[in-house]
């Protein structure tokens, strides 16, 4: 199945290896890749897309494809990278090409052993100290029967086993990361410091939209590389979108 990652801003962790497998849209697990301090490649071919630079290269005599945020790369260059996220059967719409395996990397450098860049938020934030969406001034009017984000966090086990609807204002969106949009919503409520609910979806929404999503919670979701979610709604369905709130 094709995965649209034309706008992906994939940022990988500064860990030495991935802690977990990341699933592609087919549901097949892509194996975690353990890397040394850095990996050396020699560039054979470069294809520029709208958001990514696709690099055909050799590493230790083995041909492979690598994708990195769009930048100037030339055939014949020797480059170095750190952690890589393998994606199997990946189709890039922006260059209309399917890769058996392609490795998404955060950063390439011409200098071996250069300090790895700090995490800048391309991967969606978790609730373990990496919440990018700060506590916004949001006040959503809800009917007495409607759930609040505080309700969801307070009763997370219940909502992991049944579908429910939740309404909130969009405070942050990471578009097309791992084939999905990562939407943060808030409604002005919270419990235990949890005020921001992350939803993965194919729906297009923007910051300020008042939205209602439907789905189930996934608890203690570990995407690897330190990205752990106590609570996340995966593959949420957009039920309603209203005017802006913030």
Least confident of 56-60, 97-101, 138-142, 223-227: 223-227
Q: Locate the domains of the chain by residue range.
A: 22-109, 149-244
Instruction: Read off the tokens for 186.
Output: 């808030």
Q: Give long-range contacts, CB 8 A cutoff, 24+ apart: 217-221.
A: 217/152, 217/156, 217/159, 217/160, 218/160, 219/156, 219/157, 219/160
CA distance 207 to 185: 9
Consecutive H or E run containing 42? strand 39-48
pLDDT tens-place string over residues 56-101: 999 999 999 999 888 999 999 999 987 777 888 888 888 999 999 9
CATH number 3.30.450.20 is the correct assignment for the domain at 22-109: no
Q: Would you list the DSSP string of 78-92?
A: EEEE--EEEEEEEEE
Least confident of 53-57, 131-135, 201-205: 131-135
- On the question of a common fold for 22-109 and 149-244, the answer reads yes
Class of domain 149-244: mainly beta
Model pLDDT, residue 87: 83
CA distance 214 to 193: 23
Q: Would you list the DSSP string of 149-176?
A: HHHHHHTHHHHTSS-EEEEEEEEEEEEE
Q: In residues, how long is the chain?
A: 246
Of residues 155 and 137, more confidence is placed in: 155
């Amino acid at each position: 199945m094709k995965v649209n990652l034309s706008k992906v801003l994939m940022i990988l962790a500064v860990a030495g290896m991935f802690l977990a497998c990341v699933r592609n849209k087919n549901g097949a697990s892509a194996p975690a890749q353990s890397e040394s301090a850095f990996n050396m490649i020699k560039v054979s071919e470069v294809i520029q897309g709208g958001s990514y630079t696709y690099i055909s290269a050799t590493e230790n005599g083995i041909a492979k494809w690598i994708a990195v945020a769009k930048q100037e790369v030339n055939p014949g260059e020797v480059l170095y990278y750190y952690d890589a996220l393998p994606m199997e059967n990946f189709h890039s719409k922006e260059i209309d090409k399917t890769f058996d395996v392609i490795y998404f990397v955060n950063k390439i450098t011409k200098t071996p052993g250069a300090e790895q860049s700090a995490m800048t938020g391309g991967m969606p934030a978790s609730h373990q100290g990496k919440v990018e969406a700060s506590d916004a001034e949001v006040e959503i009017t809800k009917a007495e029967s409607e759930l609040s984000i505080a309700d969801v966090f307070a009763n997370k086990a219940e909502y992991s086993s049944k579908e429910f609807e939740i309404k909130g204002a969009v405070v942050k969106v990471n578009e097309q990361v791992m084939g999905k949009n990562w939407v943060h919503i808030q409604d002005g409520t919270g419990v235990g410091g949890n005020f921001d609910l992350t939803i993965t979806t194919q729906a297009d929404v923007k910051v300020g939209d008042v939205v209602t999503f439907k789905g189930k919670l996934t608890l203690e979701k570990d995407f690897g590389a330190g990205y752990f979610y106590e609570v996340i709604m995966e593959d949420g369905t957009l039920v309603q979108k209203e005017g802006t709130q913030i």
